[in-house]
Structure 1
Amino acid sequence: MEANLELKDIITIASPIIKSFVDNIITPKLDILRKKLEKKGKLKSFSQIPFEKYFSEYYHRSFKKMSIINTLTFNNSQKLLDDIYIPLTIRNSHNYKEIYKIKEFPKALSNEYWNILITDTAGMGKSTLMKKMFLSALNSNNGIPLFIELRRLSKNKSILEELKEQLNSVNNSINDDILFELLNDGEFIIMLDGYDEISLNDKDIVTSDIQNFISKTSKNKYFITSRPEKSLASFGNFQEFRITSLTKKEAFELLRKYDNRGTISTLLIKKLQESDLSNINEFLTNPLLVSLLFTAFEYKNAIPFKKHLFYRQVYDANFESHDLTKGDSYIHNKYSKLEIDDFHRVLRHIGFMSLKDQKIEYTKDELLKFIDDSKNFCTGLSFNNSDFLNDLLKTVPLFSQDGNYYRWTHKSLQEYFAAQFIYLDAKSRQENILKKLYKSPNLEKYINVLDLYYDMDFKTFRNIIIYDLAKEYNEYVKNNYIQKYNDVDPEDIILRKELLFLRKFYLFKGEKEVPDEKLDEILNKIESIENVNGFHIDSIFVESPVSENYFGILMDHSKLNLLDLLFQKNNIIIKKISATEADIPNPMLDKNLQNYLPLELNDDSSNILNSKENFNILNQFIKYFMLPSYIVSNTEIIKVYEEIENSVKIENNIDGILDEL
């Protein structure tokens, strides 16, 4: 059956599934609640709310919304999720042997861990995964799924208000107390998608609201998706999983799904199999980049080897797209009458300014304001703001409309145009902008922008950001671990510098089962000191590899996000940590050491952790504790620092010569 016919029939397909779900799951649950409320004398207010009707309408809307996805690969046209979904694999962040392949709702996983956090970088399929799980839960009666897009929450809109709006968008007849009564009975699977998309200005208030909501409705199962960011540490009772990279076989299968094993995917896969993939391996591990690869190849029959070129070719393909329903020769005229490069210029400004706001979804008035501001910035261009908005939705569909909201089709598009703005339009402010992004305490919010910029303008990236990192490391090694450490191998001292650059490590002794109140007391004490310096707790060793009585706390600086980026770029100044799972000896500590007293691993030679007996043991401990992670290479980063300094001197000399002309 043709895809467009299947889309028309989606409600017909959904109706018997939803009717069965409401009859067998929702109605019995509501009957139990009615009896409970009758005893409390609250039945009248409950009886006035047609919950069965609300849930039925909600699941009809949601089934259609979740089953159909818009993708840049098809010029933002609609496709059935099941037609292009390949099962993604998630892995426990703290137990790499625990993996789940998500073909349907992961019942075993949700029974093992009621609160689950799924994190990964841009384009790894977090939202698609949640939609697949939502539909599967609805089909299999594994619970009562509710889906909340967290970008909709703000200091003016709570999670409860959003949930009420989803269940009953016509009027606000649902009473808060009654809804809490319903949720308090459990059985719900509440999926909170896109924590990283909450506006930065509202993040603290919204996070507190989410935590309060989860606490009050703790009998339910929760899933949260997000890109990695430090504020996720506030969800300490969630078990974190990460989406694993696609295998080459999975990437090829995804390509085949895009044209139903047609000519384009066959030719593209053949070219990929014949090519040296060393420059493109990164793109084959990421579902979004695989889709962009397909679009770019379909447009030009060429494989771009830089990420930003992917986005440019996708933009060009969308701008110059043919309407196949009207023949290959028909190209949509643009409402704004702008040419391709001028339209790109306006989008660059919109991308950068909206990135500053840390929002990807807007009301119509908000988006028109962005368009108007960008028109004023782009001197020499004239167009109607509403025409430009129509282009964004229809002829160059990089935005999509969902009710009263307008959003970037994918967050990474916003980041691409923002990076292009810095590269092409920022001019004299370029260095200041890049430094602000790199030194931001919320660097993880901008890491994808820097990732894209790295390939656009490596020389500037190297001379500003890599140089700043290398300079900071150079200062660090000059001022740390310079004391005399008796009989400690010099190589161990260098390794310690590499391990603890931009990190803090604490060790404490305790009982086999650490009481929550004791752990909270330790963490609060450490955080009160270190947060001022930009460090945040990355992980806690609950089960120590050295002894059941010793525990570790690792704190990361936000700049460590850059190390991950540089490693993915195969930059020589970064290396991956390697460690074995073999038993690590116990550190030789004072037997009378007080329990739950955290010891900082600093460079004090008199610190017992730096003794001859303990120095190497603690290095092994930290390495094991940090897996998987990356550290700077002492030799390479110092070499690069000197190279950049020399190149800057040469350029300054050339500038001096030019000044004399």
Structure 2
Amino acid sequence: MQDEFLTRTAITAASTVVVEPIKHIINTWVKPKLEEIKQKNQINEKLEEYAFQVFSEYLKRTYRDQNNINVIALGLQQVTLETTYIPLTIQSLEKKERITLDSYNEAFATKYKKIVIEDTAGMGKSTLMKKLFISAIQKNVGIPIFIELRHLTEQNDILDTILENINPLHGIHNKDFILEVIDRGDFIFLLDGYDEIPFQHKAQVTKHIKKFISKASNNIFFLTSRLDDSLYSFGEFQKFEINYLNEEEAFSLIKKYDSITQLDLAPLIIKQIKENINGESFSELDSFLGNPLLVSFLYLTFKHNRDIPSLKIDFYRKVYDALFELHDLSKDSFKREKYSGLSSAELEKILMKLGFLCLKENVNDYDKNKILKLISQAKKSAYLKDLSENLILKDLLETVPLLTTVGLGFKWAHKSFMEYFAAYFIDTQNNREEILNNISNSANLTIYINTLDFYYDIDRQVFDKIFVYPILKKFISFIKASGINPHTEKDKLQYLELLFNRLFVLDYDETSIGSIQMKTKDAEWEESKGILVEYYSKRTSDIRTYSLVKALTGSDMALYQFVKDNKVETILRLLAGKRNKLLKTLYQEYLFPQQGGDTHIYSWENLDIKNLSNEEILERNLNIINIFGSINGESNIHLYSIDYFEALKYKDLIEEEMSIRDDDLFTNL
């Protein structure tokens, strides 16, 4: 009866390529669970058949959705995932492990069970999750469930979303039954975009997610996010980051776009990139080539005007220009007219305010009423009062495709466009310094970091005044107060540079490690942090005012990095991405050393540097760098320190710039 039902209902509308893998998933993983539950008389035959149907329909529907992607560089042309996917390599600083994910890796997933992939904008996190979903079905390794976390609210928790995804039309609301199925294991939950959960819901949604993960602990969980302090709540997850694409991988992606457009641009693009590298005329080229999204933009901008921009901000400007002037890819002579009749500058002005409004809410998921209301606010002008918001929306979906549809809703084609336009909106405001100060003091600074990355290139002088200058003053005062001679005591200077704003705990004491592990065994992450702080506060009370940012633990070691002010680390990371000379990147030279049975605590507020020998200082420097330093140049999350002598020069530069006034420039016109 059941096999006959499966044969009759399994994905008849889909191609055979989709049908067969999904039938295998249903027969291998779903059917045994339902039979076990049925034997306990917990479901009848009708409910069993119904469950088969909804799981089959969910898998076929989601397979189709995740296997098709809209590529901005191709004017949001929809292509299959395989045509543009480049295998991404992820690595763990803690585990010293690197793995290339060309498909779902069952051994890797089973080893860690709970994996968070944290990285910056455009590194391919969502694309990777799509690949894992498709591959999990093709390889028949479990029941994949894809969840976009931006849909979660305080009222609509993760289980509600799962029910809605699995069964959007039939209206099954038996949470206990679904939980019973999930509790039996073999599910692969792909939780995408933790950073896109709206501010006002994040605390409660995080609580709901953690509660669900605890109840469904027999399953595999992948979680993706941009850098977000709230991720420390998921302490049981093993953190991985995505490595930059190497040059060969970037060129391969360019060739994939060429195979779709049939324009034969790849040889010309690659030739110009190599010439720019050799001529050192492209200051951000390495980071562009390492980022899959920016590689796609390289293709788009070159297609538009046969040019490769030199800065990220110019890059996005040219992408907007290319999209506004977009010609049909299959008909190069056909240019789409704008429904709204707006010029490029007029539409850009609306996009600036729209981007800021969306960024302020930290929302990238809108129903039609919401997006039209936001567009209405963004276009607020007596000159545009008769212009229909619907026409602007139609332009943003079709002729200048910066927005895209998702089901019945709408979202930015990529969140980085929202952040780009928001940065320009800030710059157009008379009170921009006040706005930036508010962002600087925000508890949600990490949410704004990509906008600030753009703003750095728009107005570096104002950026430095608000964000960099206060850090430099504090850093230079710290070095001078130590009493060292920075010109002759190089090792001590490096130690101070490493410790600024930081506290390190290197614990190799078996009794200490055992005690902490016992106390934190069943504790939530926030509770675990409290236990750690309380335990080590007996050695240094300073630790109570620090935040834990890195934890490398094992049976014979417990290694932690704390920071005094998270904002400082966030800004340093941004500056490092800009290749600012202020920052030095510290690379590991060998695996971190074992330290016998001792516990070491190094704090910038409790230095005692005058009583340390040169040998002790050198040993501490090596310990910090070889434990917490960067593994290699492919990673985009590093250990940075401020260069003292560069800081002196940069502080003088900022002060000189702050003293320059243009008041007389606008007189006697």
Report the TM-score when normalising by structure 1.
Answer: 0.88
Report the AA paired with residue 456 of structure 1. Answer: I
- Which residue of the partner structure matches residue 264 of structure 2? 263
Pick from 614, 635, 655: which aligns with 1:645? 655
Q: CA deviation at 1:201?
A: 1.5
Structure 1 unaligned blocks of 5 or more = 1-8, 590-594
Report the AA paired with residue 150 of structure 2. Answer: R
- Which residue of the partner structure matches residue 643 of structure 2? 633
Q: Secondary structure at the match of 2:189?
A: strand
> Do the aligned partners of 1:439 and 1:559 also contact (CA within 8 Å) in 2?
no
Report the AA paired with residue 620 of structure 1. Answer: L
Cα distance change on mapping 1:11 and 1:156 into 2, 3 Å: farther
User: Bigger shift: 11-20 or 158-167?
Assistant: 11-20
Report the AA paired with residue 654 of structure 2. Answer: I
Cα deviation, 1:70-94, whole Å, max 9, x if unaligned, reads 0111111101110111111111231
Query: Is 1:242 matched up with 2:247?
Result: no
Matches within 5 A, 1:470-481: 470-479=472-481, 481=482
Q: Secondary structure at the match of 1:449?
A: helix
- Write the distance in 2 (CA, Å) between the matches of 1:541 and 1:16: 43
Q: CA deviation at 1:432?
A: 1.8
Q: CA deviation at 1:200?
A: 1.5
User: Bigger shift: 104-113 or 328-337?
Assistant: 328-337
Report the AA paired with residue 554 of structure 1. Answer: F
- Which residue of the partner structure matches residue 192 of structure 2? 193
Matches within 5 A, 1:348-497: 348-376=352-380, 382-423=386-427, 425-426=428-429, 428-479=430-481, 481-482=482-483, 490-497=489-496
Report the AA paired with residue 129 of structure 1. Answer: L
Cα distance change on mapping 1:310 and 1:550 into 2, 3 Å: closer
Cα deviation, 1:446-486, whole Å, max 9, x if unaligned, reads 1111112222223332343322332232343355x34x89x
- Which residue of the partner structure matches residue 3 of structure 1? none
- Which residue of the partner structure matches residue 223 of structure 1? 222
Pick from 278, 292, 299: which aligns with 1:294? 299
> Do the aligned partners of 1:86 and 1:254 also contact (CA within 8 Å) in 2?
yes
Pick from 555, 558, 565: which aligns with 2:563? 555
> Do the aligned partners of 2:340 and 2:388 also contact (CA within 8 Å) in 1?
yes
Q: Secondary structure at the match of 1:469?
A: helix
Cα distance change on mapping 1:660 and 1:586 into 2, 3 Å: farther
Q: Secondary structure at the match of 1:525?
A: helix
- Write the distance in 1 (CA, Å) between the matches of 2:542 and 2:31: 52
> Do the aligned partners of 2:368 and 2:410 also contact (CA within 8 Å) in 1?
yes
- Which residue of the partner structure matches residue 73 of structure 2? 73
User: Bigger shift: 388-397 or 606-615?
Assistant: 606-615
Cα distance change on mapping 1:549 and 1:210 into 2, 3 Å: closer
- Write the distance in 2 (CA, Å) between the matches of 1:588 and 1:609: 22
Q: CA deviation at 1:358?
A: 0.6
- Write the distance in 2 (CA, Å) between the matches of 1:86 and 1:324: 23
Pick from 332, 336, 359: which aligns with 2:340? 336
Q: Secondary structure at the match of 1:539?
A: strand
Report the AA paired with residue 74 of structure 1. Answer: L
Cα distance change on mapping 1:220 and 1:609 into 2, 3 Å: farther
Task: Calculate the aligned-residue CA RMSD, in Å.
Answer: 3.1
Pick from 323, 326, 332: which aligns with 1:321? 326
Query: Is 1:276 matched up with 2:286?
Result: no
Q: CA deviation at 1:330?
A: 2.7
Query: Is 1:52 matched up with 2:52?
Result: yes
- Write the distance in 1 (CA, Å) between the matches of 2:373 and 2:506: 52
Cα distance change on mapping 1:606 and 1:12 into 2, 3 Å: closer
Q: Secondary structure at the match of 2:435?
A: helix
- Write the distance in 1 (CA, Å) between the matches of 2:494 and 2:270: 43
- Write the distance in 1 (CA, Å) between the matches of 2:461 and 2:441: 19
> Do the aligned partners of 1:588 and 1:613 also contact (CA within 8 Å) in 2?
no
> Do the aligned partners of 1:539 and 1:554 also contact (CA within 8 Å) in 2?
yes
Q: Secondary structure at the match of 1:314?
A: helix
Cα deviation, 1:528-576, whole Å, max 9, x if unaligned, reads 988996x4211124259xxx46744433623312212212211111001
Report the TM-score when normalising by structure 2.
Answer: 0.87
> Do the aligned partners of 2:158 and 2:212 also contact (CA within 8 Å) in 1?
yes
Q: Secondary structure at the match of 2:510?
A: coil
- Write the distance in 1 (CA, Å) between the matches of 2:64 and 2:137: 12
Q: CA deviation at 1:588?
A: 11
- Write the distance in 1 (CA, Å) between the matches of 2:198 and 2:254: 34
- Write the distance in 2 (CA, Å) between the matches of 1:269 and 1:526: 55
Report the AA paired with residue 326 of structure 2. Answer: S
Cα deviation, 1:612-645, whole Å, max 9, x if unaligned, reads 7744433332223321211111111122102221
Cα deviation, 1:198-240, whole Å, max 9, x if unaligned, reads 1111111111110000000100010001112111111111111
> Do the aligned partners of 2:507 and 2:559 also contact (CA within 8 Å) in 1?
yes
- Write the distance in 1 (CA, Å) between the matches of 2:81 and 2:345: 33
Report the AA paired with residue 153 of structure 1. Answer: L
Q: CA deviation at 1:380?
A: 5.5
- Write the distance in 2 (CA, Å) between the matches of 1:109 and 1:392: 41
> Do the aligned partners of 1:348 and 1:421 also contact (CA within 8 Å) in 2?
yes
Q: Secondary structure at the match of 1:240?
A: strand
Cα deviation, 1:319-376, whole Å, max 9, x if unaligned, reads 2222355x43332222212111101110110001110101111111111111111111
Q: Secondary structure at the match of 1:108?
A: helix
Cα distance change on mapping 1:543 and 1:617 into 2, 3 Å: farther
Report the AA paired with residue 281 of structure 1. Answer: D
Cα deviation, 1:411-431, whole Å, max 9, x if unaligned, reads 1111111112122x22x2111
> Do the aligned partners of 1:196 and 1:227 also contact (CA within 8 Å) in 2?
yes
Q: CA deviation at 1:11?
A: 4.1
Cα distance change on mapping 1:532 and 1:617 into 2, 3 Å: closer
Q: CA deviation at 1:517?
A: 4.0
Q: CA deviation at 1:293?
A: 0.6
Cα distance change on mapping 1:162 and 1:46 into 2, 3 Å: farther
Cα distance change on mapping 1:145 and 1:655 into 2, 3 Å: same
Cα distance change on mapping 1:587 and 1:184 into 2, 3 Å: closer
- Write the distance in 2 (CA, Å) between the matches of 1:613 and 1:524: 29
- Write the distance in 1 (CA, Å) between the matches of 2:402 and 2:136: 31
- Write the distance in 2 (CA, Å) between the matches of 1:636 and 1:239: 36
Identity %: 35
Pick from 573, 583, 589: which aligns with 1:574? 583
> Do the aligned partners of 2:500 and 2:604 also contact (CA within 8 Å) in 1?
no
Kindly tell me the number of residue pairs found equivalent between the two proteins.
628
Report the AA paired with residue 430 of structure 1. Answer: R
> Do the aligned partners of 1:346 and 1:378 also contact (CA within 8 Å) in 2?
no
- Write the distance in 1 (CA, Å) between the matches of 2:198 and 2:65: 23
Cα distance change on mapping 1:583 and 1:229 into 2, 3 Å: closer
Report the AA paired with residue 317 of structure 1. Answer: A
User: Bigger shift: 165-174 or 66-75?
Assistant: 165-174
Report the AA paired with residue 283 of structure 1. Answer: F
Q: Secondary structure at the match of 2:379?
A: helix
> Do the aligned partners of 2:84 and 2:253 also contact (CA within 8 Å) in 1?
yes
Q: CA deviation at 1:57?
A: 0.8
Report the AA paired with residue 386 of structure 1. Answer: N
> Do the aligned partners of 1:337 and 1:383 also contact (CA within 8 Å) in 2?
no
- Write the distance in 1 (CA, Å) between the matches of 2:310 and 2:269: 14
